[in-house]
């Protein structure tokens, strides 16, 4: 009598990298350490969308001419 071979891995529905939205820029995860109070305030301010807007609104320090 032979034991049935257990199958691990292989393709599964819903597995793998999810497709990106057409035309949307690629994003990368970033970790920032915050206190509980700072985390709560960040969420009230708008979370990741608020952070992206603030970064986009600031001039790039490397793009400015240094005199």
Q: How far is CA 47 from the centre of its chain?
A: 12
Q: What is the pLDDT of residue 57?
A: 96
Smallest CA-to-CA distance from 50 within 63, 35, 32, 23 is with: 32
pLDDT over threshold 80, residue 19: no
Nearest-angstrom CA–CA distance, 48 and 42: 8
pLDDT over threshold 60, residue 11: yes
Asked whether 42 and 49 are in contact (CB, 8 A), the reply is: no
pTM above 0.95, yes or no: no
Average of per-residue pLDDT across 41-53: 96
């Amino acid at each position: 009598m032979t034991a049935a071979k257990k199958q691990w891995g292989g393709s599964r529905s819903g597995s793998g990298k999810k497709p990106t939205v057409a035309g949307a820029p690629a994003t990368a995860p970033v970790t920032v350490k915050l206190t509980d109070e700072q985390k709560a305030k960040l969420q009230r301010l708008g979370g990741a969308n608020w952070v992206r807007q603030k970064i986009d609104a600031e001039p790039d320090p490397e793009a400015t001419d240094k005199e």
